[in-house]
Structures are given as structure tokens and as C-alpha cells.
Amino acid sequence: MKSTQELYQERLTRIMAAVNLGKPDRVPVVPLGDAFCAKHQGVKLSTFCTTPALSTEVMLKSFTSLGPIDGIQHTGFFVHNLSAIWLSKVKIYEDSLWQVQEEELMKPEDYDTIINKGFNAFLQDFYLNRLDDLGAKLGPFYASVPPSFEAAKAMGVVPFSPMLFTIPYEMFCGGRSMTRFMGDMRKTPEKVKDAMDAAMPDILGGIAGAIGAFKPIGVWVGGWRSASEFISPALWQKFVFPYIKQVVEAVVAAGAVPVLHLDSNWDRDVECFRDLPKAKCVFSPDGMTDIYRVKKLLGDHMCIMGDVHASMLSLGSPDEVYNYSTKLIKDLGPSGFILAQGCDIPPNAKPKNVAAMISAATGC
């Protein structure tokens, strides 16, 4: 019987072979679930989402009870991190899913503050006065990160992409609200771009510092509202992709794997991702982007991860999930592919369906 250390090394080797476009002994399976795990383990969502150490325990217990996973994308969940990436408040409910609040907290004059004083100076004031002292709230999460890595490793599970970074577009869009920000890009495009450019040194410095301090294997580079379906090609090339490229290159330079967690539909611009470093990244769509087209356009350039749909995990049968997962493995593997859900396993997913997804990769 293999020790947990031997299992961990075997699984890490398997995952990194996929990332590097090699051929692992089998396709690895690396799921992500937060609210699902809480529901599965009978833990109140309000407690789960505000207690980082508990979230780690719950997520690891949930997934390892459903099958021999190779890794886990996040090793914990903390709801206030959503405020940090979207500059928005989050409503917490007793035992239903938390909600990001769409509200104009960031004002047009804040672009000038970012340009003139820098992004970190802006964030310090914004966190304190408009996000209810968010900086103080984040402390428990940062303290929980190293122990969460060790907890996963102690179970032979690879903590694959436990940190999250994004681009100015996503942060400004969240802080301004989507409607206001879309208007800003039309009415004052150069002001918006100047603020984005002014923000990047602090964002890139934060990436280098965080990866240097915590040494994760990979990190999410998230895109949601910056998806191709929401913005014209000209605006996407101006406000989105150059910043994705800078963030990805910074992550690679710092020694981690950029996991491009891309929600919504990115079909139009998939080929642009060939400009990112070869055999260093993971393209992870949520089910809206055509994963087969991604394979055709990027399969020789970067690893692909996904994409068992949320609807199938919630409403389908174990056989349907198993058959779809097996088809993905056959069609997109064996090289350069990691099996996972699209985006996040939904709270109402059936545990038997999640187990079927894992079984399709592991044979167990």
C-alpha cells in the first residue's frame, strides 16, 4: 500500500505531465467545489464561507469520500475574497448561497486617484471605507493558506491552484457595476485605460509577492465579465487581453502555473491564447465555451481542464456523468487534459454524480 507521500508525488507527477502537454499514466482529475462540499457534509453555508480552516477540512473530507482525486483546485474558501477581486460587497445568508451585490461603490473620480496615487493606495482606502475594513477581514484567510496546503498533502492530495488573481477590468467592472463600467469604456476610454495601466505595477507586484510567499503549484487567473460575449473585439483587445497576458507572464515568471478560469463564452477569442507561454498554462472553461474547439485551436499549446457541466452534475444521472466524462477523456486526452467540472460544482449537485466524474478518470 502506498504512503500518502508516495500518492502525493505520483499525483503531482500526473498533473504536471498534463500541464506540460506530456502523456501521464492516465488523465488526472482535479475538482473544485465549495458550497457543494458544505451541503454534502451538512455544514451551514454561513459558517463554511466565513471560517477558512473549517472550509479546508470540509472540502477535503467531501472530495476524498467520493473517490481518489489527484488534486483539488482550491484548498479552502473564504467569502470575503470575492470582495477583493470584484471590489463589491457580498451578502451572506444563513444556509443559502452567498451573493455578490451589484452596486456602484467605485466612482468616476477614482480613476484619477488610481492614476495619481497608485492602485495600492486606492485599495487601502477603498477596503477601509467602502468595503467595511476588508483588509482586516482577509487576515484569517492568509493565515489559513499554508496549513491548508499541508492538510491536502497529508491526504496525498495535490493543492493545485489555491490562489486567485485577476485583471483590472474585472475589478473595475465589479466596483463600478457592470452598467456603469461599460459606459465608462465608451465615454472615457483613455481614462479607463490609463487607470488600468497605473494599476498593473501594483497588481503584478502583488502576484510576485504572494507566489513567493506561499509557493503554490498553480493559481487561478480569473475572467468572468471580461469574456468575449460581453464586449466587442476592439474593446476586448484594448481592455482585456493585454492585461491577461501580463498577469499570465508574471505568474509564470514567479514559478507557478496560470490556470485560466474562464467563465462565460470565450469562443470568439480562443485563438488569441496562443500568444501565452506554451506548455505553461491551463485553459479551464465553464461549459459555455466550446471545449472541443479549444482542443482544436489550443491543444498543442496548453493544457485544457474541464468541463463536466453544472446542469449535468445537478440534474443528470451517474451514468450520464460517467459517459460524458469518459468521452472527454477519450476525445481530449490522454495528453494535455485534466478532468474537472466546468467552473464550480453547484451546491445542488448529486454526490453520486461527482463520484461518477471522479471514477471516469480513476477507474475506482
* DSSP letter (8 states) at residue 123: H
pTM reported for the whole predicted model:
0.97
- Cβ neighbours, 10 Å, residue 89: 18
At residue 91, the pLDDT reads 97
- The predicted model gives 120-147 an average pLDDT of 96
| C-beta separation of 304 from 295 below 8 A | yes
| C-beta separation of 105 from 175 below 8 A | yes
Local confidence band at 42 (pLDDT 50, 70, 90 cut-offs): very high
At residue 231, the pLDDT reads 96
Local confidence band at 10 (pLDDT 50, 70, 90 cut-offs): very high
Number of residues that make up the chain: 364
* pLDDT tens-digit series, residues 249-269: 999 999 999 999 999 999 999
Tell whether the model's pLDDT for residue 205 goes beyond 90: yes
Q: Which domains does the chain have, with CATH numbers?
A: 4-362 (3.20.20.210)
At residue 1, the pLDDT reads 84
Tell whether the model's pLDDT for residue 364 goes beyond 90: no
- Rounded (10°) angle between helices 119-130 and 110-117: 140
At residue 25, the pLDDT reads 97
| C-beta separation of 161 from 218 below 8 A | yes
Question: Mean pLDDT score of the chain, rounded to an integer?
Answer: 97
Rounded to a whole number of angstroms, the CA Rg of the chain reads: 20
**Residue 327, SS3 per DSSP:** helix
At residue 106, the pLDDT reads 98
Q: Measuring CA to CA, which residue among 245, 263, 162 is closest to residue 204?
A: 245
- Rounded (10°) angle between helices 189-214 and 119-130: 90
* pLDDT tens-digit series, residues 215-254: 999 999 999 999 999 999 999 999 999 999 999 999 999 9
CA atoms within 13 A on the CB side of 146: 7
Ramachandran bin of 363, using left for φ above 0, alpha for ψ from -120 to 50, beta for the remaining angles: left
